[in-house]
Structure 1
C-alpha cells in the first residue's frame, strides 16, 4: 500500500503517512463483481440448451437427408432399378468404372462426418463441456455455406458463443 499524496510505502494498518502526514485511504470491501450474475448465467444456460437441441436436430436431418440423397445418387449413377437410369448404364463412367463408387464413398464419408460433428456440437453444448464450445464454433464455420438452415444455425451459434461476455458466461456454466 502506498500514500496517495507522496507515494511513500505504507505499512499494513498504518493510519497516516510518516512523510507527508496524509491519512491513509480506508479500505472497503470490494463491490460485487456483476449484479444479477446468477440471472444472466441462467438465461445464457437456457440459450445454450436451446442451441444444443437445434444442433441435434440439424445433425439428425443432415444424416437422414444424406442417406436418402445418396441412395438416389447410387441408383442414378449405377443404373440400378427399373425406374432410374443414369447417363452411364451399369457404371460405365468416362473416367473409369470405379469413379462413381469412389465419389459415392467420399460423399458417404462427408455425410457421416458432418452429422457426427453436429451431434458432437450438440452433446458438448448440452453437457456444457469446455470442448463443446470449440466444436460448436468449428461446426458453425463449416455450416455457413449450407443455405438456409446451416447458415441460420451457424450465425446463431457464432452470436451465442463468440465474444468476451459470452465466453465468460459459458465459463460460468
Structure 2
C-alpha cells in the first residue's frame, strides 16, 4: 500500500504512516458495477393484433342466436294458429278442429299453412344453429341461405339475417370457416 499523504510504501497492517504519521486509508476492494437490469419486457401487442378472426369470434353466438330464433318461430307459429282459430271458429277450443265455422273458407286453409311454415322455419333455424355450434362443413352455406330467407321476418329475422351474412358471407370468412370446420 502507499500512503496517501507522502507516497511512502507501508504495509497493510499499519494504521499510520511511519514516515509522516498520517492515517493510512485502507483502500477497499473495487466494487463491481451493479448488474445491468434486464431489458424491459416488450409492450403488449395492440388488442386488434391478438383478437381471433371474425368468424371464430362470432360463430358461437351466431349458433346460439339461431337456436333461439328457432324457438321464437315455434312460439310465434303457435300464437298465430291460436289467433286464427279464435277468429275462424269464434271459440277457444270448445268445438275442436272441425266444429262450427264462422269465417271465410280460406281462413280454415290458413291454419295448416301457418303450422307447416312455422315447423319448417323452426327446423331450419335449429339446423343452422346446430351446424354452426358443431362447426359442420355445410353449416356456412346453409346459414347463408337461411339468413337470406330470414331477412323477410322483420325485425328479429332481419337483424339475425344481417348479422349472419356479415359474419359468414365474405370470401375471407369462407376460408376461415373451412379452417375451423369439423371434418369428422
- TM tier relative to shorter chain: 0.5 to 0.7
Separation in 1, partners of 2:102, 2:76: 27
Maintained 8 Å contact 2:140/2:168: yes
Decide whether the 8 Å contact of 1:80 with 1:90 is kept in 2: no
Aligned residue-pair number: 128
Q: Separation in 2 of the partners of 1:70 and 1:118?
A: 20
Q: CA deviation at 1:130?
A: 1.3
What is the TM-score normalised by the length of structure 2?
Answer: 0.62
CA distance in structure 1 between the partners assigned to 2:50 and 2:141 by the alignment: 24
The runs of 5 or more residues in structure 2 that have no matched partner are: 1-48, 94-98
Residue 109 of structure 2 corresponds to residue 102 of structure 1: yes
* Structure 1 pair 68–39 and aligned structure 2 pair: CA distance change class (3 A): same
Distance 1:50 1:81 in 2: 39
Larger Rg, first or second structure (1 or 2): 2
Q: Does 1:91 align with 2:91?
A: no
Indicate whether 1:137 and 2:144 are aligned: yes
C-alpha separation between the residues in 1 aligned to 2:140 and 2:132? 6
Deviations 1:6-29, CA, capped at 9 Å, x for gaps: xxxxxxxxxxxxxxxxxxxxxxxx
State the alpha-carbon separation in 2 of the partners of residues 64 and 93 from structure 1: 24
| Corresponding residue of 2:12 | none
Match of 1:126 among 120, 124, 133: 133
Partner of 2:123: 116
Q: TM-score, normalised by structure 1?
A: 0.66
| Superposed CA offset, 1:54-101 (max 9, x none) | 00111111111211221121121122249xxxxxx932455x4xx433
Q: Report which of the two has the higher share of helix.
A: 1
Unaligned runs of 5+ in 1: 1-36, 83-88
